[in-house]
Amino acid sequence: MFRKTYDWVMGLAGSRHASKALAAVSFAESSFFPIPPDVMLAPMVLARPDRAFVYAGICTAASVLGGLLGYAIGFYLEPVGMWLLSVIGHADGKLAFEKWFDDWGLWVILIKGATPIPYKLVTITAGLAQFSLVTFIWASVLTRGFRFFAVAAILKYFGPAMLKEFEKRIALYGTLGIVALVGLVVALKMLT
C-alpha cells in the first residue's frame, strides 16, 4: 500500500500537473482537508530538487489563501466552522480557542502554523474569535513560509541520502508515520 501511494506521488511530482495538485492540497488543508501538503511537497522536492523553493512558495501562497477561507468560515459561517471543528474532534473547543486567542493572540498562529498540528484549527478559530485579519495574514505568511521553505531546504540539500534510506524501508516508515499520527491525535484529544 505505502509503495503504491509513494510511487503514485513520485510520478505526480514529475508530471505537468504537480504544481496545480500541490496548490490544491495546500489550499484545502488550511480550511477543511485532513492531509497536510508535506505529503506532496516532500516527494516533489526529492524528484525535482531544482524546483524546491518554487514548490515551497506554491505551498505557502496556497496555504495562506486557504487559511483566508478557513478564517471566513469561522467569521461568517459560525455553524459551519463549529461543524468542521467537531469533525476534527473539537466540537466544544470554541471557548478554549477563543481564550487562546485572547491570552496568546499572535503566538497561537506563529506556533501552530509551523507545527504539524492541523492549521485549519488556527484558521477557523481565528475567524470564530474575530482575531485581527491583518495580523492573521502576515503571521500566516511568516509561519507557513518558514515551515514549507525549511522542509524544502532540508530535502533539497540532504534529500538524496534520505530518499535512498526511505525507499529501502518505506513500509517501516509508513507504519511509524501512521503510529505517530494516531499518537498525536490521541494526545490532542487528551489535552483538550
What cell was used for 73? 468560515
What cell was used for 30? 488550511
Query: What pTM was computed for the model?
Result: 0.70
Long-range Cβ contacts of 183-189 (<8 Å, 24+ apart)? 184/116, 184/117, 185/89, 188/89, 188/117, 189/89
Instruction: Evaluate if residue 10 carries a pLDDT over 70.
Output: no
Higher pLDDT, residue 160 or 123: 123
| Per-domain boundaries in the chain | 2-191
Spatial contact of 120 and 69, defined as CB atoms under 8 Å apart: no
What is the per-residue pLDDT for 35? 74
Residues 65-77: what's their mean pLDDT?
Answer: 91
What is the per-residue pLDDT for 123? 86
Phi first, then psi: give them for residue 33, nearest 5 degrees. -80, 140
Which pLDDT tens digit goes with each residue over 179-190? 665 566 566 566
**Residues 80, 180, 145, 103: what is their CA dihedral angle, to the nearest 10 degrees?**
60
In 3D space, the residue among 13, 20, 9 whose CA is nearest the CA of residue 49 turns out to be: 13
What is the per-residue pLDDT for 62? 96
Spatial contact of 114 and 142, defined as CB atoms under 8 Å apart: no
Structure letter (DSSP) for residue 92: T
- Share above pLDDT 90 across residues of the chain, in percent, rounded to a whole number: 19
Average pLDDT, rounded, for the chain = 77
Higher pLDDT, residue 179 or 126: 126
Residues 19-29: what's their mean pLDDT?
Answer: 90
CA-CA distance, 78 to 19, in Å (whole number)? Answer: 32
Instruction: Evaluate if residue 56 carries a pLDDT over 70.
Output: yes
